[in-house]
Amino acid sequence: GIPPPPIRGLDLDGKPFDLAGTKGKVVLVVFWASWCLPNAVEVEWLQQVYNAHHDQGLEIVGVNLDLLQAEKPTLDALMPNIRRFALDYNLRWPNVISQPGDGDIAAAYGVTEIPANALIGRDGKIAAIDLPRKSLAPTIARLMAQ
């Protein structure tokens, strides 16, 4: 029931994104990495939820965590993998990259492992965190009805 930390940055196409622009919508924030196989598995059901509720005001925002790996790679080195994942899995929602330091969106949300997600209600407050597949669709449907 608290306001979410801000998410601002450039999406994978270089367009500015600001979570504040989704006010009044239900927003699912999904934390992912190109190397995380469970993230690849969950994309199909995220697409289903997105298709079922997008017209009623559901948005999904992806937050990529590839830069937060222990090896501290550069964004230029990782971008081909990130883009390939987004293309291979047809990610149709904005995706921003969590970056070390002040740009660490994952740390702001308390994410320590992935897959992880946060669901924001139309009131702009966090309604749920780390929803498993079986709870995600009914919780979104409940929030969409509010």
Note the pLDDT tens digit of each residue in 64-96.
999 887 677 788 999 999 999 999 999 999 999
CB 144 within 8 A of CB 21: no
For 99-126, write each residue's pLDDT tens digit: 888 889 999 999 999 999 999 999 999 9
Which pLDDT score, from 0 to 100, does residue 75 have?
Answer: 87
pTM: 0.94
Matching residue, tokens 């790996």: 69
Q: What are the two backbone dihedrals, phi and then psi, of residue 99, each rounded to the nearest 5 degrees? A: -125, 150
Query: Mean pLDDT in the chain?
Result: 93
CB 115 within 8 A of CB 38: yes
> What's at 57, amino acid-wise?
G
The token pair at 69 is: 């790996």
pLDDT at 24 over 70: yes
Taking residues 23-41, report their average pLDDT.
Answer: 94
Show Cβ contacts of residue 53 under 8 Å, excluding neighbours closer than 6 positions: 26, 140, 141, 144
